[in-house]
Chain A
Amino acid sequence: MSRVKAALRTPWFWAIAGIVLLLAVNTVKDPAYLAIGVNPTTGLLTGNLLDILRVAAPIIMIALGMTFVIATEGIDLSVGSMMAVGGAVAMQTLSTLREPDSVGAMLAAIGLAVLLAIVLGVLNGVLVAVVGLQPFISTLIMMLAGRGIARVITGGQNTNATNEPFRQLANGQLLGIPTSFVLAIVIVVLIALLMRRTALGLMIESIGINPRASRLAGIRPRPLLIAVYALSAALAAVGGLFSVSEVMTVSVSGTGNLMEMDAILAVVIGGTSLAGGKFSILGSTVGALLIATLNKTVLFLGVPAAATPAFKALVIIALVLLQSERIRSLAFGGRTTPRIPSGPPSPSAGQGVPVTKEAVG
């Protein structure tokens, strides 16, 4: 019984329930929704479930990076623009190299895209960690400038390119599963091992709980923060690569547009508090899957794609309200600690945070 209760309290349990519910709605509309068939010309598996996995791959990437940024009590609003930068660099490289099917060209495109993203991510990190700007302001500026950078890279065009190995990133399959999803999961597992098998994850969380205390404990927040923003940017660029490889075209205004919201949403659905101090990689991954399912469901139900933000907004509002102390104390009685009566926290201030969080430190 207590195990059931514990499962019910895990946020990603509700995310999985949400995915199942959305799939059920789709199946009611079309009983063949979950069917998986074989495309006779390519011999690849086809089906709505595989589409969802393909769509999920870029969202998983940006949500993974956002997880660590949010764990440090920061935010990265530039991930959508960073996807566009990554996609733009890749498409421009491939179309300049003019070597349609070489693996070398693909690796060069991927390498350059990730490299530029890391440079921009380091800039974000320096502005936050060294200059001391509020994370949402420095990444907001990067969000604004990033799309401009993507435009400059492609000369304002929606560049397209041909490169068969690169196209296979999203359109190929490994054991019947989209390659991009497999790669995304491999990256998630590698980073999860890095964070959880070393003290890195713990140090990131300690910065989120109390930067001053962690500095006193011998953790150097600056390099760590810069690394976290660089990682977020690099992962966003990889997400951009996945999303442009599907169509082999980068849309400088469309690629990654409003995706920062998807990333934040996935992280919050996955149980990571926006107040920082703890993170769940599994939760964010499941959250990203839920968003991919939601995107596909809304389209499937015939609602225009442009309307999905409204549904996502309702989910965000519900989730942030569930995180608020006022709702919790109403729902669970006197179980939670009372709110510090100093009003809501400003974006940068740590006040109003539940006392339980201090206890972790």
Chain B
Amino acid sequence: MSDAKTLAEAVPPADDLPKGGEAVRTAGWGRMWERSQTLLPTLVALVLLFAMLVYAEAAYGRVFHAGTISSLLVSFAPTIILAVGMTILILTAGIDLSVGAVVAFSSVAGVMLMNIGVNGWIGIVLMILFGALFGLVAGVMVQYFSVQPFIATLAMMFLARGLASILSTTPVVAPADSPLLLLATDWKIVDGPKVNDFTVTPGLLIAVLVVIAAVFFLHRTRMGRTVYGIGGNEASAQLMGLPVARTRVWIYIVSGALAGLAGVVYTAEVGGKAQNVTGLGWELDAIAAVVIGGTLLTGGVGYVLGSVIGVFVIAALRLIITKDGTINPEYLTIITGAVLLAFVLLQRVLTSRSRR
């Protein structure tokens, strides 16, 4: 697979350019074409999303319905948070396979701490810190000991899942007065007729804030530019004097912390119940969302907002499968796998064309 690297080298990090109109003008048509190409998978995902929603509305009804949409958004808030962290990592050609297990560990550990009398707010902060700690270890292994990212994070996945199981193999429930539960309060934004209300929760608001912060981080900060630089061509990023080592360790910490935060939001959503089997397969959902959203697995090209669209595609897929009684739920993972494969192949076609 050595030609994958040359491929990454061949695709310039599109977002190294400032976004202003002047830059686009000077870059000329070639650049414009390249930019639109990096956007193409995201656009395909967006079209697919609308096609799925329209199909679902026509076939089953009650899809473009404030109640349905808002409950879908709320239930996918943890996935959105995970997908943001995963996007930043995949942009550097890294990966984090431990996020699902970290969600399990931090929620079990946090809820148990709250049960032995730790202040709820401190408990929430600790949940995020636990996640960050797993990210730190993975990041150090990747950066300073040259461990392949997927091996390092696979080890973290085992460790987190195992530690969660050592803590408890039965569900633990947060105390009823825990501030954790406040995160799942329903805020009615639009009071529709009957049950057609648009409601959001503080958990969803957190996910939205995370997305906004990530967009700002990637496109408006030096470290964000370094992220694209590492993924585009690490050697030249280093030669340019970008702080590669520091950035890489930090983004693994961020991904871990976001996994801890996803654990907080999810635990709140399910009424404070935490389990060692929570989050099985969530890393795959996050990776699928990132890939569907148009971020290249070889790094350097992609957008956080694309990944959010990717999460919505997966959410719409689940919606259709649950609304349609005839599709066996057994087919769910096969369909998700097939969609993921289709998008990876699309990426492959696009990148091989731009290489010529």
Interface assignment of B175: CB less than 8 Å from any CB of chain A: no
| B155 and A326 form a contact (CB under 8 A) | no
Contacts of A75 in B (CB 8 A): 150
Q: Which residues 25-59 of B have a CB within 8 angstroms of A?
A: none
Contact yes or no, A132 B337, CB < 8 A: no
Q: Which residue of A lies closest to B144 (CB)?
A: A326
Query: Which residues in chain A, 168-214, are within 8 Å of chain B measured between CB atoms?
Result: 210-212
Quick one: given A144-B340, A326-B145, are A308 and B2 in contact (CB under 8 Å)?
A: no
Is A151 a contact of B330 with CB atoms below 8 Å?
yes
Q: A306-B276, A308-B162 are in contact. Are A348 and B145 (CB under 8 A)?
A: no
Given the known A-B contacts A144-B284, A312-B158, A313-B156, are A345 and B3 also in contact in the complex, defined by CB atoms under 8 Å?
Answer: no
Report A313-330 CB contacts with B as 1/0, cut-off 8 Å: 110110011001111000
Given the contacts A133-B348, A134-B1, A152-B330, A320 and B152 also touching, CB distance less than 8 Å: yes
The segment from A27-35, A48-56, A286-294, A349-357 that touches chain B is A349-357
- Interface residue? B338 (CB, 8 A): yes
- Chain B residues 294 to 311 lying within 8 A of chain A, measured CB to CB, are 297-299
Given contacts A141-B340, A349-B2, contact A261 B142 (CB under 8 A): no
Contact between B281 and A310, CB atoms less than 8 A apart: no
B345 interface residue per 8 A CB criterion: yes
Tell me if B155 and A320 are in contact (CB < 8 A). Answer: yes
Q: Which of B4, B5, B151, B245 has the most CB of A within 10 A?
A: B151
A254 to B336, CA, bound (A): 20
Any chain B CB within 8 A of the CB of A76?
A: no
Q: In the complex the two chains form, what is the Cα distance from A38 to B350 in whole Å? A: 65
Point out the residues of chain A lying under 8 angstroms from B3, CB to CB: 132, 212
Known: A304-B166, A313-B156. A152 touches B331 (CB 8 A): yes
Q: Residue on B with the closest CB to A305?
A: B165
Contact B162 A347 (CB under 8 A): no
Most chain A Cβ neighbours within 10 Å, of B1, B155, B330, B345: B1
Q: A310-B159, A321-B141 are in contact. Are A304 and B165 (CB under 8 A)?
A: yes
Q: Is A339 an interface residue (CB 8 A)?
A: yes
**Given A145-B337, A152-B334, A156-B329, CB of A309 within 8 Å of CB of B159:** yes
Asked if A140 CB lies within 8 Å of chain B CBs, one says yes
User: CB distance B1 to A132 under 8 Å?
Assistant: yes
Which residue of A is nearest B92, CB measured? A346
**A343 with B158: CB separation less than 8 A:** no
Could you say which residues of chain A place their CB within 8 Å of the CB of B162? Answer: 306-313
Asked if A342 lies at the interface with its beta carbon under 8 angstroms from chain B, I say yes
Query: Which one, A141, A151, A155, A316, contacts B151 given CB within 8 A?
Result: A316
**In-complex Cβ contact of A142 among B159, B281, B329, B337 (8 A):** B337
- B329 cross-chain contacts in A, Cβ below 8 A: 156
Question: Quick one: CB contact mask for B126-143 with A, threshold 8 Å, 1 for yes?
Answer: 000000000000000111
Q: Is B238 an interface residue (CB 8 A)?
A: yes
User: Which residues of A lie under 8 Å from residue B169 when comparing CB positions?
Assistant: 304, 306
A346 to B: closest C-beta gap in Å: 4
**Chain B residues with CB below 8 A from A339, complex form:** 146
- Asked if A326 and B165 make an inter-chain contact with CB atoms under 8 angstroms apart, the answer reads no
| Closest beta carbon of chain B to A329's beta carbon, Å | 12
Chain B 103-146, CB-CB to A under 8 Å as 1, else 0, gives 00000000000000000000000000000000000000111111
Q: How far is the CA of A188 from the CA of B331 in the complex (A)?
A: 35
Asked if A136 is an interface residue, CB under 8 A from chain B, the answer is yes
Assuming the contacts A141-B337, A212-B2, A313-B162, asked whether A326 and B238 have C-beta atoms less than 8 A apart, the reply is no
Within 8 A of A (CB), among B307-356: 328-338, 340-341, 344-345, 348, 352
With known contacts A148-B330, A148-B332, A310-B159, A350–B2 Cβ distance under 8 A? yes
Proximity string of chain B (215-238) to chain A, C-beta cutoff 8 Å, 1 when within and 0 when not: 000000000000000000011001
Contact A342 B234 (CB under 8 A): yes
Annotate B176-187 by CB proximity to A: 1 below 8 A, 0 otherwise. Answer: 000000000000
Cβ contact within 8 Å between B238 and A349: no
**Which residues on the A side are within 8 Å of B165 (C-beta)?**
304, 306-307, 309-310
Q: Which residues of B contact A140 (CB under 8 A)?
A: 284, 287
Closest CB in chain B relative to A204 CB, distance in Å? 15
Binary CB contact string for chain A from 118 to 140 against chain B (1 if under 8 A, 0 otherwise): 00000000011001111111101
- B141 touching A317, Cβ below 8 Å: yes
- Give 18 new A-B contacts, CB below 8 A, not counting A136-B95, A320-B151: A131-B345, A132-B352, A134-B297, A144-B340, A145-B336, A147-B333, A148-B330, A156-B328, A304-B166, A309-B157, A313-B157, A316-B151, A324-B145, A339-B146, A342-B235, A343-B234, A346-B299, A347-B150
What are 13 sample pairs from A and B whose C-beta atoms fall under 8 A apart?
Answer: A141-B344, A145-B334, A258-B158, A303-B166, A304-B166, A308-B162, A313-B158, A320-B151, A343-B244, A345-B146, A346-B234, A348-B4, A351-B5
Residue positions of A touching B, CB distance < 8 A: 73-75, 127-128, 131-138, 140-142, 144-145, 147-149, 151-152, 155-156, 210-212, 258, 261, 264, 274, 303-304, 306-314, 316-317, 320-321, 324-327, 339, 342-352
| A-B complex: 8 closest residue pairs judged by Cβ atoms | A310-B162, A145-B337, A148-B333, A306-B165, A313-B158, A313-B159, A309-B162, A348-B4
